């Protein structure tokens, strides 16, 4: 995706709402406007009710007007060199038909105009069967991020389905089928730890290392569960920030190099501060950050059914300022830079827990 270096994005302008040409993104000398990074929510419903989840599930599946708007927005961007779509939600596989329809449009458009196309998906893995994954890989979705909270029971205690039942057995059997297949994909397993599941995480590490020895398509990433404003935050056994490094070191030692491990990224540029990176929610709202879903400052505009992006420059500007302020922490998480001092720790936690792929993986979106 677009390379972003410190610069002066010109998209932050008058402070009034403006209608931007379909697909147009603010330009600067440093930001490659011929690359577009879209994070799409095909639905904001989820088949899980994780005990620490902060989402409210108020918006359902992507409205036909929003689907039409995305298609028209893409159709207007034959000037692109690269297009990357990140599928997010809700659980994107609750609305696989939306994923299929827009993926076909994106692939066809990119093939027709010589645009490099890539896509990834953040999913809970419950519906990611081998036949569906085969279809999605065929549609260009080559990378997946799946979270596990322990081995069996411990996972099921926090990653509950909407009906209260556990989810581990099905996710594991999908994982086995995917790893037994010849599919050309990558799976990042985010292993969520908290005070009460550490022994189970070590058991999970053993299970993974034995089941998939040396599997290059798998990568593990240890992350603490953090308070993000969910209704159970008060009683949840979070690991204190000061202890997390030691815990992650211990888990890495248990893995002992038997599978690939992605280390915590200390720096990088979050997609939220790049002008050519947009979150399009299921109702057509345009945002920048995939965590602050209920923060007014994160609502920067609207996608219209005709493909027009109506962006409020005054709301966009603070997100882009992280690129020019020279503070690596602000670039790593512009939401943190926006937050008041009192909220900083929570935002820092938020920045580590549930993201679309990209910054969460320590990648520079755009590099």
SS3 (DSSP) at 222: strand
Tell me whether strands 309-312 and 301-303 are parallel, antiparallel or unpaired: antiparallel
- Of 146 and 289, CB closest to ligand SF4: 289
Q: How many residues does the chain have?
A: 367
By CB under 6 A, residue 289 contacts ligand SF4: yes
Report CA dihedral (257, 259, 260, 265) to the nearest 10 degrees. -80
By CB under 6 A, residue 351 contacts ligand SF4: yes
User: What is the closest distance, in whole angstroms, from the C-beta atom of residue 268 to ligand SF4 in the complex?
Assistant: 9
- Of 50 and 365, CB closest to ligand SF4: 365
Among 185, 201, 205, 291, binds ligand SF4 (CB under 6 A): 291
By CB under 6 A, residue 350 contacts ligand SF4: yes
User: What is the closest distance, in whole angstroms, from the C-beta atom of residue 55 to ligand SF4 in the complex?
Assistant: 14
From 67-75, 189-197, 238-246, 334-342, span contacting ligand SF4 (CB under 6 A): 334-342
By CB under 6 A, residue 355 contacts ligand SF4: yes
- Of 81 and 346, CB closest to ligand SF4: 346
User: DSSP of 204-219, one letter per residue?
Assistant: HHHHHHHHSTT-TTEE
User: What is the closest distance, in whole angstroms, from the C-beta atom of residue 334 to ligand SF4 in the complex?
Assistant: 5
> Kindly report the CA angle at 34 between 337 and 25, in degrees rounded to 5?
50
Q: Cis bond leading into 14, ω under 30°? A: no
By CB under 6 A, residue 335 contacts ligand SF4: yes
By CB under 6 A, residue 359 contacts ligand SF4: yes
- Of 137 and 289, CB closest to ligand SF4: 289
From 36-44, 130-138, 221-229, 283-291, span contacting ligand SF4 (CB under 6 A): 283-291
SS (H, E, C) 253-269: HHHCCCCEECCCCCCCC
User: What is the closest distance, in whole angstroms, from the C-beta atom of residue 341 to ligand SF4 in the complex?
Assistant: 16
CB 353 within 8 A of CB 223: yes
User: What is the closest distance, in whole angstroms, from the C-beta atom of residue 333 to ligand SF4 in the complex?
Assistant: 3
Q: Provide the H-helix boundaries in 130-279.
A: 130-138, 153-158, 168-180, 198-211, 241-255
From 13-21, 23-31, 39-47, 287-295, span contacting ligand SF4 (CB under 6 A): 287-295
Instruction: Give CA–CA dist 327/345, Å, rounded.
Output: 17
Packing angle of the helix pair 241-255, 198-211 (nearest 10 deg): 30
Interface residues with ligand SF4 (CB under 6 A) are 270, 272, 289-292, 333-336, 350-351, 355, 359
């Amino acid at each position: 995706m677009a390379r972003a270096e410190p610069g002066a994005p010109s998209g932050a302008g008058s402070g009034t709402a403006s209608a931007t040409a379909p697909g147009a993104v603010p330009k600067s000398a440093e930001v490659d406007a011929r690359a577009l990074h879209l994070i799409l929510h095909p639905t904001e419903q989820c088949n899980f009710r994780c005990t620490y989840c902060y989402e409210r599930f108020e918006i359902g599946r992507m409205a036909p007007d929003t689907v039409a708007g995305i298609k028209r927005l893409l159709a207007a961007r034959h000037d692109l060199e690269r297009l990357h779509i990140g599928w997010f939600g809700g659980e994107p596989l609750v609305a696989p038909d939306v994923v299929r329809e827009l993926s076909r449009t994106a692939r066809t458009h990119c093939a027709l105009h010589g645009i490099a196309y890539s896509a990834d998906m953040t999913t809970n893995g419950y519906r990611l069967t081998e036949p569906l994954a085969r279809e999605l890989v065929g549609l260009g979705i080559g990378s997946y991020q799946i979270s596990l909270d322990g081995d069996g029971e411990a996972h099921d205690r926090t990653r509950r389905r909407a009906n209260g039942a556990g989810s581990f057995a099905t996710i594991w059997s999908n994982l086995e089928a995917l790893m037994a297949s010849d599919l050309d994909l990558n799976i990042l397993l985010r292993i969520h730890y908290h005070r009460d599941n550490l022994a189970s995480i070590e058991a999970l590490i053993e299970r993974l290392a034995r089941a998939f020895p040396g599997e290059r398509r798998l990568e593990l990433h240890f992350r603490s569960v953090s308070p993000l404003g969910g209704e159970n935050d008060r009683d949840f056994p979070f690991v204190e920030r000061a202890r997390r490094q030691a815990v992650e070191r211990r888990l890495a030692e248990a893995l002992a190099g038997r599978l690939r491990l992605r280390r915590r990224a200390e720096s990088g540029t979050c997609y939220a501060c790049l002008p050519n990176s947009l979150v399009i929610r299921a109702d057509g709202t345009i945002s920048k950050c995939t965590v602050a879903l209920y923060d007014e400052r994160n609502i920067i505009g609207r996608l219209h059914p005709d493909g027009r992006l109506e962006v409020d420059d005054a709301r966009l500007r603070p997100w882009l300022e992280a690129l020019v302020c020279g503070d690596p922490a602000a670039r790593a998480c512009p939401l943190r830079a926006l937050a008041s001092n009192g909220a900083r720790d929570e935002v820092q936690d938020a920045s580590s827990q549930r993201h679309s792929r990209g910054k969460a993986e320590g990648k520079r979106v755009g590099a």
